Amino acid sequence: MKIAVPKETKEREKRVALTPDVIRSLVKSGFECLVEKDAGLSSFFDDQSYISAGAKIITDRQSLYADADVVLKVNPPVPSEISFMKQGSVLISFMFAASNPELAEACAKQGISSFSVDAIPRISRAQKMDALSSQANLAGYKSVIVGANALGKIFPLLMTAAGTIKPSRVVIMGAGVAGLQAIATAKRLGAIVEVSDIRPETKEQVESLGGKFIELEGDASIKLEGGYVKNVSDDFLKKQQELISKHVAEADLVITTALIPGKKAPVLITEDMVKRMRMGSVIVDMAVEQGGNCTLSEVNKNVVKYGVTIIGEANLPSLMSLNASELYAKNISTFLLHLATKDGFKWEMEEEITKGSLITHQGKIVHPSVPKPVVA
C-alpha cells in the first residue's frame, strides 16, 4: 500500500503526520511512503532525512493524493484535498466529525473511507494510538510556559537581600491530561497550584502532583463517557463559577482546559471575573478554538482586558512541533498497523477500535456521533 503524507496547510500548523524514523519502520514493514516536498520542514525534518528513511518526495500535491491508498494527516482535510483522493482510498487524521459533519459528508460522497484519531476509544490497548492525550500532554506543559512568559513575576519563592518574593499562584481548571501536565509543570517551577475539576475522582491525582483541589459539590446533570465530560447543566456551571471566582481573583496565572466533545466549550471565566483579577495577571484559554472557557479570549490572539493578559493560542502542540510530530507519528502509525497490513485493510467492522473510529465507509457515514444531513 502507498501511504501519502501531505504538508499541513492549516494556518500556524507546524506538525507533520509522519517523521523519518517512523517512515523507516513502515518501509521495513512493506509500505511505500510518499511525502510531499517540505512537509516536515517546520518540524525540523528536511526532505533528505525522509529520502534516507526510504520515502519518495513528491512535488505535485494533487498527484500525491491521487496516487495514495492511505492519506495520513494531522488536521482535517479541506474539500479540495478530499476531491483529489481516489475512490476506495482511506483517510486517517483528526476529523472532529461530531462538530464537522460536512467533512464526513464530503468523504462519503467521494467514496473514501475515513478514520478519525480523536474518535479512537479510550481503552488500555489503544493507549499507544491516543493522539488526543499525547498532544494534550504537550499542550499542558506549554500552557504554563507561555503563561509564565507573559507574567511579570517569577514562579518560585525567592529570598534576596532586597526582600522576599512570594511564589506565584496558579489556578488550573480541569484535571484531564493537559491539566495534570500543567499542574506538574507549574509545581516544578515553584508555584502554588490550585485545581478545580467537576469530577471528584481527580482529587487524588491532583494532590499526588502537589496541587490543592478546589472541592466542588457534585451534580446529577454531569454525564461522563470514556473519561470525557459529555454533559453539564448551565446551573452547575454557574455554581462552579461562583465557587472558583475567589480563587481566580487571587491568581497570578489561570489556565483553563475544559472541553466537551462536539459542543461549545463551557464558560468558566466571565468578564466580571476578569475585572476582579489583579492587574498583570494572565489567563491561558486552552479551549479558545471551541468557543473558549473565558468570554473575552480571542482565537490566536493575545489581548489585554482590564489589565489582564488573555492568551488565545489555539494550537499549543504546534509550538513544540518536533516533539508533537514525533509523538503523533507513533500514535498514527500504531493505529494504521492495527487497521491494516502492507497488503490492505482488515476491515474488522465489529472490532472495538475500528468500529469506534470509522467515520465513513463505502459511500456512507457510519459513525453514530455524526449528525445526519437534513433532507428538505
C-alpha cell at 31: 509500505
Among 61, 122, 188, 199, the one annotated catalytic: 122
Catalytic, 228? Answer yes
Angle at 14 between CA 12 and CA 15, to 5 degrees: 130
C-alpha cell at 170: 496558579
Among 48, 52, 80, 127, the one annotated catalytic: 127
Distance CA 70, CA 33 (A): 10
Among 47, 130, 197, 252, the one annotated catalytic: 130
> Using the 8-state DSSP alphabet, how is residue 323 labeled?
H
Which residue in this structure is represented by grid cell 532525512? 49
| Residue-wise burial string across 284-294, b where 16 or more C-beta atoms lie within 10 A, e elsewhere | bbbbbbbbbbb
C-alpha cell at 219: 451534580
Among 42, 228, 241, 245, the one annotated catalytic: 228
Which residue in this structure is represented by grid cell 499541513? 8
| Residue-wise burial string across 33-55, b where 16 or more C-beta atoms lie within 10 A, e elsewhere | bbbbeebbebbebebebbeebbb
Catalytic, 321? Answer no
Q: How buried is residue 267: exposed, middle or buried, by Cβ count under 10 Å (0-12/13-18/19+)?
A: buried
> Using the 8-state DSSP alphabet, how is residue 375 labeled?
P
Among 113, 133, 143, 290, the one annotated catalytic: 133
Instruction: Report residue 273 CA to chain centroid gap.
Output: 27
Catalytic, 122? Answer yes
Catalytic residues: 122, 127, 130, 133, 228
